Each structure stands twice: as structure tokens, then as C-alpha cells.
Structure 1
């Protein structure tokens, strides 16, 4: 009898424990890593582009700051609109389910959800504001890497080298994090991200220098 009561008590204790959905956490973390990687790569490329035609640190840093602000705002607005659309769709479905429960289906087969279940469904919906804020913060965090690399260096060549070097290191780390979250091979994923980043920075640098040289002669 005592064992039975103990088992019941253990079952109640386990039922009272809040279940954590780690898959949702992984999705948020992966989105944050991708946002930071986007901020790192786009800001580094923009700074390399201006560095192709201007040698002063002020121009490069101001361009990087402008890229950070514009990119963070763009990411936030895009994420807000996207998640809000999903939120509206889910809320519309919840309202239809509520109406169906009130009306029934005429055959007595409708599963009547409790008020608590409805509340839980609404709580589980994604927050557009949180998604927008997280996206902007992640982008800005990634963009700070090249900005801090160039902020205190006056020499042109050293500044360019530091931006490329720190961006490369961060790209490898982001590639490893993304691969770990996606259960992909670490080395292969990191190399793919790194090479892609080099291409983006190199193409931006090269084309900007080409356009700058053409404009100079004209």
C-alpha cells in the first residue's frame, strides 16, 4: 500500500515538472547564429568595399556603422512581418477551432478543448516583437566583430588584414555552431562558410575598386 502511494506521489511530481521544449530553443539559437553570421559577413564586405577606394579609418568605420544600423533594421522589420503573418494565421485557426467547438459537428465527434488548452495554444504562438528584437540583436552582434577590429587601427594594410582575419575566425566559429545545431560535419561546414565569406568580401572589394578606378578616370 505504501509503495502504491509512493508511486502515485512520484507520478504527480513528474506531472508537475514543466517540460522544456529543447527543439524550440535549438531553432531560436540557430536563427541567432545565422543572423549574427549575416551581420558579420555583410558588414565585413561593406567595410572591405569602402576600403577598396578609401584608406582612412573614419570612412570604413562610418560605413560599417551605417551597414550595422541598416542591416539590423532590415532584419528586424523582415522578421516582424514574417512572424506576424504566421501569428495571424495561427490565431485565425484557433478562432475557427473555438467556433467549431461551440457549434459542434453534428455527430458528437468534435474534441472539445478546455479553456486551459486554448490558452496554452495562444501562449505557444511566436512573438513578432521578440523575433524582431532577437534578429536585430543577432545581426548587430555579428556586425560588431569587423567594426571593433578596425576601430583602433590607423594603418590601412593592418586594418584591412585585421578585418579579414577576425571575420574569418568568426565565420569558422559560426560555421561550427551551425553545423553542431544541424548535426552536420563540423569541418566541412566551417570550410564552406569560410570560403563563402572570403568570396563575398573579395568580390565586394574587387568590384568596388574596379568601379572606383573607372570613376576616377572619367
Structure 2
């Protein structure tokens, strides 16, 4: 009497083949991802947070070079946060709106010479048009998140030199995290990106601190 049961070795082979096919499919899907399409929101988020971090920390270090009062330092950082977030939002809104105008004008030119199938394609393109308000809000929020790092680091420390070094330490850690995050999400070299962001942030704080100290000591 013939048996309808599958031999154990055949079953194991079938499972292994299935696993290999599934893994290959996942690898192909990952290769098909276009990481360059992440550039818009990645630029608005990571660069916005990095700008907020570096500019606010540099302002606070500059004021801290000539004023030891913690209240003055915090107020300077808060003013930098608000001004920078507004500037980022307005700049991003204007930039993305200009891009939107260009793409809408191009779609209008194409609309005059399209057939039914191409009209459906254009409907899909409309959904992918740039969103100025969304980009502006993302930039302002990201800038504020970055700016909060030095503000929170300095808020509860009254001793002058301790406060400065705590701000530098907090900013250093945040710069490494932002550099790593931007590189990881964009599939760029992580170490190179982190070092580049870190050195740039240190340089900005050092130059601001040094020049402000020099001008402040000259009695101007």
C-alpha cells in the first residue's frame, strides 16, 4: 500500500528552500528602497535639529564668555530658540513653496497634451507634491528639539565653569547622536558623518566663545 506521507528529509528541504526564498525576497525589497527619497524630510529633521543645537549652544557659550549669570545665559538661549525656529520655518516654507510652484506649473503644461491614462498618472503626482506648511512645521519643531539640549543642560547649574562644561558635554553627545542618526537613516558612512558634525559643532562654539571673550575683554 502506497504511503501519502512526505519523507522527513523532503520536508526539511522544503522548509529550508522556503526560508532562503523569503530571505532573498526581503533582501531584494531592501535593495529596491530609494534612500534618496528620504532626503527632504531627513534634511528638515536632522539638519534642523543640528542647527538648533549648534546655534543655540554657540549663543549661550558666547554670552557665557562675558556674563556668568545663569539667567542671562538661559534668556539668550531661549531667544535663540524662538528666533531660530521662526527663521527655519519661514525659510523652509518659502523654499518648498517655490518648489511647489515650479512643479504645479510643469503639471499644467503637461495637462494640455495628456490622454486619459496620463491624467491618472497626474492625479498620483498631485498627491506627492511638496507640502510647504508641513515642511515649515517640521523644521521649526526639529530646531526647537535641538535647541532644548543646551538650555536644559544649563538650567539647573549655578556654578559658572561647571555650567559651561556641562553644556559642552551635552552638546557633544547630541552632536554624535544627530550625526549617527542622519547617516544611519540615509545609509551614509556613520563614523565619518558623526565626526564631521561633531567637529563642526565644536568649532562653532569655540569661535563664538573666543571672539566674544576677546571683544568683551577689550571694553567695547
Cα distance in structure 2, aligned partners of 1:120 and 1:198: 45
Q: Which moved more, 1:174-183 or 1:83-92?
A: 174-183
Aligned pair 1:198/2:211, yes or no? no
Equivalent residue, structure 1, for 2:51: 38
Gaps of 5+ in 1: 1-19, 102-110
Q: CA deviation at 1:195?
A: 1.4
Equivalent residue, structure 2, for 1:144: 148
Secondary structure at the aligned position of 2:183 is classed as helix
Aligned pair 1:153/2:157, yes or no? yes
CA 1:87–1:26 in 2, change beyond 3 Å: closer, same or farther?
closer
Cα distance in structure 1, aligned partners of 2:78 and 2:137: 18
Equivalent residue, structure 2, for 1:100: 113
CA 1:26–1:91 in 2, change beyond 3 Å: closer, same or farther?
closer
Aligned pair 1:121/2:134, yes or no? no
CA 1:73–1:61 in 2, change beyond 3 Å: closer, same or farther?
same
> Could you state the TM-score of these two structures normalised by the residue count of structure 2?
0.79
Secondary structure at the aligned position of 2:200 is classed as helix
> Could you state the TM-score of these two structures normalised by the residue count of structure 1?
0.80
Equivalent residue, structure 2, for 1:179: 183
Secondary structure at the aligned position of 2:113 is classed as helix
Residue pair 1:26, 1:181 contacting (<8 A) in 2 also: no
Query: Which stretches of structure 1, 4 residues or more, deviate above 4 A after TM superposition?
Result: 20-23
Residue pair 1:150, 1:162 contacting (<8 A) in 2 also: yes
Aligned residues, how many? 188
Q: CA deviation at 1:126?
A: 0.8
Secondary structure at the aligned position of 1:138 is classed as helix
Root-mean-square deviation (Å): 1.9
Aligned pair 1:165/2:165, yes or no? no
Secondary structure at the aligned position of 1:100 is classed as coil
Q: CA deviation at 1:191?
A: 1.8
Residue pair 2:61, 2:209 contacting (<8 A) in 1 also: yes
Deviations 1:84-114 (A, max 9, x none): 001001111111111223xxxxxxxxx5445
Q: Which moved more, 1:187-196 or 1:157-166?
A: 187-196
